[in-house]
């Protein structure tokens, strides 16, 4: 039901807004505290009353003979007063500051009784009883607690339990949207009064409970309610950090559906304020510049709740606001660079709201600006020396021989470290051709296939987890690990999706820290990892350590192990102490947690430190940007390897044809077959055609997927050219024949395709 709360009909009048404490532009600080009236001002008030003939105080001001009354402390501890003021003689406006905690009214209506009231009102059309419930409940913070608190005057001062009957709240809000318009308006008016009335003084836990209930109101989907919603968000955003801590944990306990609705309402609010469909429905941006900062900060509480939950309530991608893809995000980034996390608001302070598309663009443009600056300086130097300017200096030109692919690539990247941020151009020695992207992709594909082959020895392939991990063998030169890191960085910068299967913890380590330390002796890649991280690499070992932690018997006698571990390196078994004297320290029930954590740290950090450090520095040599601070580990993986989420319908809409049209029988049969494929075969098709079963950051449109006609016998299988993301189809006569030949081709292709 539409509520017209805008302009003259809005109950939140301009004079009411003025009663709320002001907020500085882009500031989320709390409003000004009301000072306690000084002794002098109090005396002045009394003198004014006497002069005006007021007789509100019939007794003298000082009553030293009165006993057993609560006394005020002296105004200044250094001043000795002959008489002190009794609280019993203070005027009402001053005494009000000293009243005890208000008592929450007792409300006995249950969720079932309320539902019965709504059902009767729906049938009879008499909504008075339901209307009165809403009118009373939303009249103040106290009434909200009275209605929804499990026990009216119980403290519930814990992060584990908000004390709110969430089921009852949901029932009341679900019914609200189906009540008459005057009932819905009465709720909004009550919220206005609550926000105006409850601002004074420090927040109590009951205040937090009221905010917790109010922010779940489903009415905040209409721009007509946005002025009220904005003031509610401002008050929540201005709470103390300790209060935010409570709200964050309470949000974590919400049902998934309600949690997601909260996020969606905040996202809609931010989007509508940025790009209003009807600007006249909202106040001018100049007068409400604090709306978006307040909403974003409240959204950050929900993001934090999602992050600390044992399993994510919603995917982290649900926090992306895709409309921000269309703002000037580079200006936002540069403002953040200049001012950091100061009071000047930027979206980069809250990177969870920025999509991977935006973050990739920021990294690329930031690197491009660094490259342009370097190229400009090179041009100036050459001109000043009167040397001939070669435009090739604008590119990172790599020349390699196919038979010495790894060594030549390593030499080229080592010699041209200063050019790594330039656009990549690859030439294969002895082969004619201009690199328009195909040669670059082929270079990546061939290098990755060779480096990650188990015979090469740099990485081991773990069958149980289907991923690669760093070999722990020791050597004198780790430059090839640096090459792999640089390859990953170049792939991000040049928008190439790599078919690499690293476990997620590799990307955590790559961001530890996200910016390369100035001190070369500072450890890098030493992330704090857990048993869950080990589970994604070595599930059998992780399972065994998990059983050790949960074992109920005597660990020392039954397991008979010490703080010493053994590892095979090039056929030789070596022992390592997890702590000094570890070979003589038995693992017991008391120290087994320490043992497991040290074992995980050894396997995933210490035993491969030099290999990973070289890999880390190689990656950051290309992607050295403060923009990496904006990324989650999962987002780094998506930048490097692409997204695992396939949408073949989207691919069908953006595919290019050569020799065919979308109405040709072969093409119609192709899409009928592909769209009916199970996910596993769809992934094989993508891998067969592009060299990877993942989708680039920009989606299917960035694949440049092409279907070409090849005039050969229909006995032939389809052929792919992975360097150009191209699949060639003979003109098959039937859908059955096409399905059979395509399935054989994509299920038996080796490496990166048939050609």
Q: SS3 of 735, please? A: helix
The two tokens of residue 369 are 């600006």
Q: Please give the backbone phi and psi of residue 656, each rounded to the nearest 5 degrees, phi first.
A: -105, 150
Q: SS3 of 88, please? A: helix
Of 63, 197, 175, which Cα lies nearest the Cα of 116?
175
Q: Distances from the Cα of 389 to the Cαs of 143, 376, 380, 393, 399, in angstroms?
A: 78, 11, 10, 8, 20
Hey, which residues does 657 pair with through a beta bridge?
707
CA atoms of 444 and 493, how far apart (whole Å): 13
CA atoms of 753 and 247, how far apart (whole Å): 53
DSSP state of 31: P
Alpha carbon 297 to chain centroid, angstroms: 13
CA atoms of 471 and 451, how far apart (whole Å): 12
Alpha carbon 268 to chain centroid, angstroms: 17
Query: CB neighbours of 664 closer than 8 A, spacing ≥ 6?
Result: none
Query: CB neighbours of 320 closer than 8 A, spacing ≥ 6?
Result: 353, 354, 355, 356
Q: Which entry of 467, 641, 723, 728 is annotated as an active-site residue?
A: 723
Identify whether 348 is a catalytic site residue: no
CA atoms of 377 and 298, how far apart (whole Å): 45
DSSP state of 71: B
Query: CB neighbours of 555 closer than 8 A, spacing ≥ 6?
Result: 548, 587, 588, 589, 592
Q: Please give the backbone phi and psi of residue 708, each rounded to the nearest 5 degrees, phi first.
A: -115, 155
- The CB density around residue 325, as the number of other CB atoms within 10 Å, is 13
Residues with catalytic annotation? Answer: 723
């Amino acid at each position: 039901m539409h509520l017209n709360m805008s302009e003259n009909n809005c109950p939140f009048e301009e004079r009411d807004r003025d009663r709320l404490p002001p907020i500085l532009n882009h500031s989320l600080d709390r409003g000004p505290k009301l000072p306690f009236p000084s002794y002098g001002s109090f005396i002045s008030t009394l003198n004014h009353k006497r002069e005006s003939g007021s007789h509100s105080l019939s007794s003298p001001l000082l009553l030293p003979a009165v006993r057993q009354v609560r006394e005020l402390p002296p105004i200044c501890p250094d001043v000795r007063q002959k008489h002190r003021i009794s609280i019993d003689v203070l005027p009402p406006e001053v005494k009000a500051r000293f009243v005890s905690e208000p008592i929450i009214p007792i409300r006995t209506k249950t969720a079932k009784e309320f539902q019965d009231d709504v059902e009767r009102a729906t049938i009879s059309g008499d909504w008075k009883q339901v209307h009165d419930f809403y009118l009373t409940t939303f009249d103040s913070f106290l009434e909200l607690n009275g209605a929804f608190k499990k026990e009216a005057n119980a403290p519930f001062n814990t992060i584990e339990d908000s004390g709110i009957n969430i089921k009852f709240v949901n029932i009341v809000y679900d019914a609200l949207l189906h009540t008459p318009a005057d009932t819905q308006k009465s709720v909004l008016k009550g919220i206005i009064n609550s926000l105006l009335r409850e601002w004074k003084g420090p927040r109590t836990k009951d205040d937090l409970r009221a905010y917790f209930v109010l922010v779940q109101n489903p009415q905040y989907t209409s721009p007509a309610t946005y002025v009220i919603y904005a003031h509610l968000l401002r008050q929540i955003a201005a709470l103390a950090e300790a209060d935010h801590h409570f709200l964050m944990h309470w949000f974590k306990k919400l049902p998934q559906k309600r949690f997601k609705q909260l996020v969606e309402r905040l996202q809609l609010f931010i989007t509508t304020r940025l790009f209003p469909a009807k600007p006249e429905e909202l106040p001018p941006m100049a007068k409400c510049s604090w709306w978006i900062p307040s909403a974003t900060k409240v959204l950050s509480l929900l993001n934090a709740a999602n992050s600390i939950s044992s399993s994510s309530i919603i995917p982290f991608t649900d926090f992306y606001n895709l409309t921000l893809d269309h703002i000037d995000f580079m200006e936002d980034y540069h403002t953040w660079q200049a001012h950091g996390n100061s009071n000047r608001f930027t979206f980069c302070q809250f990177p969870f709201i920025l999509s991977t598309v935006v973050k990739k663009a920021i990294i690329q443009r930031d690197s491009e600006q660094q490259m342009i600056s370097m190229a400009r300086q090179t041009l100036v130097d050459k001109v000043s020396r009167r040397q001939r300017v070669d435009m090739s200096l604008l590119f990172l030109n790599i020349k390699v021989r196919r038979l010495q692919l790894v060594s030549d690539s390593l030499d080229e990247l080592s010699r041209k470290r200063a050019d790594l941020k330039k656009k990549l151009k690859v030439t294969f020695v002895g082969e004619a051709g201009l690199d328009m992207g195909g040669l670059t992709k082929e270079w990546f594909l061939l290098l990755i296939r060779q480096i990650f082959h188990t015979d090469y020895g740099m990485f081991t392939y773990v069958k149980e987890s289907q991923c690669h991990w760093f070999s722990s063998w020791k050597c004198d030169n780790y430059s090839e690990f640096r090459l792999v890191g640089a390859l990953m960085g170049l792939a991000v910068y040049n928008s190439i999706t790599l078919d690499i299967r690293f476990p997620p913890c590799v990307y955590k380590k790559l961001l530890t820290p996200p910016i390369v330390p100035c001190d070369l002796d500072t450890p890098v890649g030493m992330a704090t990892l857990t048993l869950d991280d080990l589970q994604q690499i070595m599930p059998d070992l992780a399972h065994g350590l998990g059983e050790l932690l949960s074992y109920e018997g005597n660990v020392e006698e039954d397991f008979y192990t010490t703080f010493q571990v053994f590892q095979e390196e090039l056929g030789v078994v070596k022992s390592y102490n997890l702590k000094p004297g570890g070979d003589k320290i038995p693992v017991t029930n008391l120290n087994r947690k320490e043992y497991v954590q040290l074992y995980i740290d050894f396997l995933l950090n210490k035993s491969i430190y030099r290999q990973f450090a070289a890999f880390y520095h190689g990656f950051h040599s290309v992607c050295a940007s403060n923009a990496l601070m904006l990324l989650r580990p999962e987002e780094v993986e998506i930048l490097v390897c692409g997204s695992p989420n396939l949408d073949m319908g989207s691919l069908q809409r953006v595919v290019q044809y050569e020799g065919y049209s979308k109405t040709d029988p072969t093409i119609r049969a192709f899409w009928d077959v592909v769209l009916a494929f199970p996910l596993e075969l769809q992934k094989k098709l993508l891998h067969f055609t592009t060299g990877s079963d993942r989708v680039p950051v920009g989606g299917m449109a960035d694949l440049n997927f092409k279907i070409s006609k090849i005039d050969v016998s229909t006995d032939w299988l389809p052929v792919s050219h992975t360097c150009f993301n191209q699949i060639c189809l003979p003109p098959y006569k039937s859908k059955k024949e096409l399905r059979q030949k395509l399935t054989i081709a994509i299920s038996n292709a080796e490496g990166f395709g048939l050609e």
